[in-house]
Structure 1
């Protein structure tokens, strides 16, 4: 298998009179097509690690390797380009823009990357919405959708630029049981059927049970012995 994401001696410390270390010397290799869940108690550093892996935060020390590239020397523009090209993000709260229609929300990252004409971007977005059963919602606004539909649209938006890796932060944390199960299956299928690498933070043991690998984080460190209570 091919390593697509690697954390090397990764540290994230918040400065202050009493510095707080959120991620403490983590080393981690993630393979293409893996579905990985990061778990741990509240405040353990799970989301902080995810944001570092997703190039949303910059480590205090250590490196993130993305698709074989050392990103530690990248400037802000290079990091933004790599996020657009190779990473997709799904959050607990979908963060769809209320003033935009569903299809315009999905087209936002496509337009930002700038590789498709507007006509081609529209067709691509509509095709993706159809694959995930929400094409009929394309001209609606997010407030007109159910919670499960909004999260499916958020997943479609994450896939808009055909990323190598999808990173999800508590993607089922705001959903009912049935909608959560649907999202869990979608993310699993992305890895197993489409070859995407999926890295998700979750508190939900049922969600984590679908993963190929579970990584416990306690006090900013990987803890193989940790199990949800």
Structure 2
């Protein structure tokens, strides 16, 4: 398939997410979003506005009630759960507020986990790539430490290395600096920005921090589940 280099790497049209019940809860209302390679986008809004719900839809972690998402030119609507999991593993990386590193594994092994699941590289190639990703983030000397031996900022950088493991086109982050001190927050923010500007990844991040949003190329504002602005 021929790719248009100017086309968005992710495009969502008319996304809604409704939880059925006696009174239906509308989490996201007809949101349309597009993100290009090399672009860092921040999603902002009040608590309970639907920021994380929108991110989970864009990350294919939740299915929309209505609407369509195209990722790297592929229409993801109607694909099986198994195929959806494969798309996430191949094309997406995730960073959450709480790093979700496996405590019994070293930093190196945590970074290797997505590569092992995908199974494209040999064990030696996986280890070499994981070492390289940690080195890029200044963590080479901590490769064989477990998460409990690392600071909060270091753990989050390991999570960012893990998010890059399978060379994704999009990295999605949910409040990635929410549990960090101010210095570590800036390091994580600048790391994500570098991945966009230098490596051409699309970065989509939910944040409530103005200093984080300052680094974004665009801010998507969402209120009561509806996108108010995307510029």
* Aligned length, in residue pairs: 226
**TM-score for the superposition, normalised by structure 1:** 0.97
1:84 pairs, out of 65, 70, 89, with: 89
**Structure 1 segments of 4+ aligned residues over 4 angstroms from their partners:** none
CA gap of 1:168–1:225, structure 2 versus 1, over 3 A, is closer
Match of 1:162 in 2: 167
Whole-angstrom CA distance in 2 between matches of 1:158 and 1:225: 25
Unaligned runs of 5+ in 2: 1-5
Matches within 5 A, 1:44-193: 44-193=49-198
Aligned residues of 2:93 and 2:163 also touching (Cα < 8 A):
yes
Post-superposition CA distance 1:192-229 (Å, at most 9, x none): 11110000000000100110000100011011299xxx
Whole-angstrom CA distance in 1 between matches of 2:118 and 2:141: 25
Aligned-residue CA RMSD (Å): 1.2
Matches within 5 A, 1:191-202: 191-202=196-207
Unaligned runs of 5+ in 1: none
**TM-score for the superposition, normalised by structure 2:** 0.96
Structure 2 residue 16 is matched with structure 1 residue 33: no
Shift of the alpha carbon at 1:5? 0.6
